[in-house]
Structure 1
Amino acid sequence: MKKEIHKRVEECIHCNACKRKCKFLTKYDICIGDSEKLKALAYHCYLCGECTRVCPKGIDGRGLILDYRKEEVSEGKYGLKKRGYSGILLEKKNYLFQNHRKAKGCKTVLFPGCNFPAYYPKTLDKLVALLQKEGIEPYYDCCGKPIEELGLTKEAEAIFTRLNQDFKRRGIEEIILVCPNCFYHFGDKLNVKITTIYEKLSALNIGKKLSTEEYECFFPCPDREDKRWLPKLSPFLSGELSEKKNLQCCGMGGCAFIQEPMLSKEMAESRSKEKKLISYCATCIGQFARFGESEHFLPLILETGEKADYSHSFWNRLKHKFY
């Protein structure tokens, strides 16, 4: 791993294109090629991928940071608990709010992820009720993305193994995802069909069409380049959806908010308030909604009128554990 990391860093021409697009790199006056400084600050990076998108040499800055984190974990130099990640490890390593009780005998289940149940419990309850009419039950669990992003490769692989084994045992053949982070993190690592909630609602002819004129869309970090979820949203859009530009990250990416609370706040506050912000990532909107009017697609489509409930996120997740 060390040789590969070093080889990639040597390709950096120090043009500072990455620094101009990243508040984290700007704060510390470094670029992706400043390997020693960057390695020491690996857990301060938001893993948003903006550096990768603008690098003229094609250096994968996000991958580089992840490798630094994995290297640190493998060497055992610093404890993640000492870095302030005790809460994340307790909750995500073996998801604290797992609930698979109603998924028995279902070939298709709804996989809401972590933060949609946390911020939008009323909308989730309505969504669950609608899908139950189709024989689809909820499966509450975590995809393991936060664990992998902390550099815990073996633990992240164990989550994939656990999920695959449980899906097979229960006879689950398809999961419906609400979260784009889950979608990209799972990739092709699950032995089941993956469908987005927007595809499923469209197929069932459920949901209101939205006027796009009053909104700017913040495309979540993993989907910002490919925008694979945009065609899936199109049945619910009355026109072209304008993209919110020059907004790096919601401030919650890469678990960096633990190390950089003020920078995370600055990122979330930096959005222009000329138009309402909209997104299909509950994590992003849960953060942005603290500093200005922001909407998630699903409460609008399902007409619940629900706003992100940031202050009761723990209790909302706990509720669904015992659903």
Structure 2
Amino acid sequence: MMLIKRIAVALALWFTAGMTPLKAETTLLFNVFVPRSNNFHEVTAQWAEEVKAATNGEVTIQFTAGNMAPPPEQLEAVKSGVFDIAFIANIFLKNKAPLLQATMLPWLVDKSENASIALWRVYKKHIEPKAPFPDAHLLTLFHWEGGQLASITDTKINDIKELKSRKMWALPGPPADLLKTLGMSPVATPAVQVGEMVSRKIVSGYMGIAPEIARDFKAGPYTKTITWFPRSVTSTSFSVFMNQEKWNTLSDKNKEAIMSVSGEHFAAMAGAASNKEMQAALDEMKKNGVEIVPANPDFYKKMQAAAQPQFDAMRKEGERLGVNVDAMLEDFIKESESIK
């Protein structure tokens, strides 16, 4: 019996010596709340592969089978551990991260990829030192393509008088506020309802959503013309973030590896995907007879002037937090224009 025990111990030691130590693996759960048809799923799948490669398989990203929290509650769900990673439209962080509203103001974004990279850069330079992202580790920021102005009648909208003669639907936030400054009373509802508003002729135009959003929410077939401004009426920005406690458990090596494929890199991927989707939707609308009308310079100038109260309010918010908003937005434009 003693001999058998000795043999068993020897065999165990022999097998143990020949085994390669297992890597410590971490699995992170990512909740992507948009429908599966949205191109952001492809972006996050690519990013997950890059994280796995960068960490030599020590960190893997899995995705929830379906959305596990309402869009406005993504940050709270990550903080409470419902899932580890999520993204949120920054309009839902107005109180928690007010300066992330700045680049969504009118007439700032011309291309989502450039704007996404520029947003990450100005966040690191201007916002993070004074008002960092709240209660979670920020992985990246990005912009979707910006919204324009559309008519669902045969008459295009390319001057203030014509615009003010209309009952307009507008995306809540900067677009709706812009029309209110002009003395109008827009119908402001979530974007998902724009198709209903135009199909029932409750409004005769809409403002603030990009072509792919108009297509996806059934406003495309009713659109006759789109007035195209040099920079968009607004462009929604997003934050991608991770549970802080979970982040803290990672090794420094893996933190560095994850951020090497996040930050500006992730921002560029997300912005480029949005631009590609916008171009496809715009081409489809053109084939269906939608006319793209360049904005009249005088009209654009007056619309820019109407946005000034929003910029004044953002400057005051910056002063409260110790951030020069004018310098930040100047850098945002410069960075956007410098990216080829």
Is the pair's TM-score, using the shorter chain for normalization, greater than 0.5? no
Q: Which has the higher contact order (CA 8 A, sep 6+)?
A: 2
TM-score using structure 1 length: 0.31
Q: Which has the higher strand share?
A: 2
TM-score using structure 2 length: 0.30
